Structure 1
Amino acid sequence: MQITKEIKFKFVVATRENVENFWTHTATGRSLALYLSPSVEVSLFANNSRGLPEVYNEVIDQCTNDPAILIFAHDDLHILDFHWMHAIFNGLNHFGVVGLAGNKRRVPLQPSWAFIDENFTWDSLSNLSGLVAHGKSFPPEIINNFGPPFEEVKLLDGLLLAAFSEVLIKKDLKFDELFKFHFYDLDFCRQAENKGIKMGTIPLSLIHESRGSLGPEEWRQGYQNYLRKWGQ
Structure 2
Amino acid sequence: MYGMHDVKLVTAFINPEMYGSFFTSNPNVNRYELIGIDNRQLNRGLPVIYNETIENHIDGDCWLFFVHEDFEIKCDMNVVNGLDRGFVYGTFGVNSENGIPVAYGRHVCSNKDGTCAVEAGKEVLDTVKVQTLDSQSILVHTSLLSQYSLLRFDEKLTFDLYAEDFCINAQEWYGIDVKVFPLGFQHYSHGKVTERYHAGLRYLAEKYPSIAVAGSCSFIGGRANELEKKFTYNIPANLNSNKAMSISGAIKRFPRRFKSFFSQFK
**Which structure would you say has the larger Rg?**
2
1:204 aligns with 2:162: no
Matches within 5 A, 1:138-177: 141-148=117-124, 150-172=127-149, 173-177=151-155
Partner of 2:11: 13
Query: Which AA in structure 1 matches 2:9?
Result: F
Given candidates 99, 109, 114, the residue that maps to 1:134 is 109
Q: Distance in 2 between matches of 1:31 and 1:174?
A: 26
Q: How many pairs were matched up?
A: 201
Partner of 1:49: 43
Q: Distance in 1 between matches of 2:59 and 2:165?
A: 26
- List per-residue Cα deviations over 1:60-107 (Å, max 9, x = no partner): 0011232321000000012111x22x12333x3276111112123489
Q: Distance in 2 between matches of 1:152 and 1:228?
A: 25
TM-score (norm 2): 0.68
CA contact 1:174–1:188 (8 Å) conserved in 2 = yes
Q: What SS does the aligned partner of 1:65 have? A: coil
Q: What SS does the aligned partner of 2:107 have? A: strand
Query: Which AA in structure 2 matches 1:10?
Result: K
Query: Which AA in structure 1 matches 2:7?
Result: F
> CA, structure 1 residues 213+30, in 2 after alignment: closer, same or farther (shift >3 Å)?
same
Structure 2: where are the runs of 5+ without partners? Answer: 210-221, 223-266
CA contact 1:96–1:198 (8 Å) conserved in 2 = yes
Structure 1: where are the runs of 5+ without partners? Answer: 108-115, 117-122
Q: Distance in 1 between matches of 2:97 and 2:171?
A: 11
Identity %: 24
Q: Distance in 1 between matches of 2:186 and 2:141?
A: 24
Q: Distance in 2 between matches of 1:156 and 1:147?
A: 15
CA contact 1:99–1:160 (8 Å) conserved in 2 = yes
CA contact 2:85–2:144 (8 Å) conserved in 1 = no
> CA, structure 1 residues 200+32, in 2 after alignment: closer, same or farther (shift >3 Å)?
same
> CA, structure 1 residues 55+190, in 2 after alignment: closer, same or farther (shift >3 Å)?
same
CA contact 1:73–1:159 (8 Å) conserved in 2 = yes
Runs of 4 or more above 4 Å deviation: 136-140
Given candidates 77, 81, 84, the residue that maps to 2:71 is 77
- List per-residue Cα deviations over 1:3-36 (Å, max 9, x = no partner): 236x52111111123xxxx2xx11x431222332
1:32 aligns with 2:23: yes
Query: Displacement of 1:139 after TM fit?
Result: 9.3
Q: Which has the higher contact order (CA 8 A, sep 6+)?
A: 1
- Give me the CA root mean square deviation: 2.4
